[in-house]
Structure 1
Amino acid sequence: MLKDFENYLKNVRKYSLNTINSYISDINIFLEYLHIQKLNYKDVNHEVIRSYLKYLDEKKYKNSSINRILSSLNDYYNYLTKCKVTKYNYFEDINRPRKEKRLPNFINYSEYMSLLAIVEKEENEFLKARNLLLLEILFDTGLRVSEAVNIEINNINKKEQSIKVLGKGNKERIVYYGDYAKNYLEDYLNLRRNINIVDKEYLFLNKNYTRLTRRGVEYLISDISKKALLRQKISPHTLRHSFATEMLNNGCDIRSVQELLGHKSLSTTGIYTHVTNEVVRQEYLKAFKR
């Protein structure tokens, strides 16, 4: 039934590959737990679920991760119930743990420039050009890393300086890039013209000239940030947070930021207003000492 559910997510719900993989991973972990407990997936009831939640808590899972797992299992058992494989979905009755309120971490412009300075030291001209463009696109557009690695050259409008991207739930949106990214893009594309490329349609390539992966970007950003000796650990998502914070700090309307980030709900974007308010508070405390 799990394979059927996977096909349902792909063909009916139209979920992205990353989302489907997350669902399947969550479900497989639960099925493995049931196997250890000598239980069948049809044996699930409130008691079994509470026992599993206790197990996750003991394994130090964060509330946000537990909520995601419960959501995956709820959808799976909804599917099983509709297919009449199980009689009732007990996950519907389970209260979700309260989500931790964490402000997103971000870097300021001077810290971002220190990342570019590290990339400028790269001796391989192709990798230097690619990494400069990659950093600028992430910082300049707020794209998710999964969206960035799937950028196709045909979806770049050089005249409008815009990119059509495929976001969560296979929803398309348009993002825009500035003049720095425009120049980095031209340099990078010029270098690509003399290379025998395998995945020609994709913008970002690895050193073997095939499509750059999400994991590859995460490793790259982490490595660059370590060399830059920044005050915090940097991930691709940090650059997304930084984009949103910069936009709001510079007076951009929150609904425009929501659209650019591809957030379904305005409340998701709203967390960045807390970040900008905290920046204002810190500046006030530094300036107004009594």
Structure 2
Amino acid sequence: METITSVAEKYINSVKMARSPHTASTYKNAVSFYLETLRLNKIDPDNASVSTLHEDTIVMLATALKNHAATTERLYLTAVSGFFAYLAADNLTQVNLPRIKLLIQQRARKPGQRLPQFPASDIDAILNLIDKPEFLNSEDEQDHLIKLRDRAFLMTLADTGLRVHEACNLRRGDLDWNEGKAMIIGKGNKQAIIRFSTRSTDALKDYLKIRTIIDGGSKTPLSALPLFARHDR
């Protein structure tokens, strides 16, 4: 028996082979969020057969995404609808793809005025640049710390779908390092689970390791300190 989780992993691997690393990472976050949504709705994807998966779980996902930006909502719904198309193509379960499309049209918010769109290849180029040693190296300790922070911040934004102000509001204690996720409070005081990629948590660990001396001298508990801090004053 193939479980929902095992097939989801195969789907992500197929995306990695066909799409850019950035897109694959975003799709992985979307599917992880979907699996977490199933768990919150009493469906255990680690043990449930993929043949039991039904289209109505798209409604669960759309509801869970209401605290996210409309663009993130659209992207995650697109990624998961692609997962259902993958299931249908491999005859892993009975899927009514037109119904899924209709459910998304009925429940997904329409994005507002669109900001300028940047090619995914350009975004990938920036993320690759800030991860190179020559970008991070600096004889000035403060400048080195700022570069580590900027790398962690940009990777977090790219891989989680968080808004800038949401990332800025994160505290060190918000992040569950073992699970690679954080709980944030969105609109209407509703909780939302945010998944962090491995590269973003690795970048955060590098940044916070260098910040240890500064944070250790603070009278504020570590868990209450901002995840991203200013270092220019």
TM-score (norm 1): 0.37
TM-score (norm 2): 0.45
Work out which structure has the larger RCO, using CA pairs closer than 8 Å and 6 or more positions apart in sequence.
Answer: 2
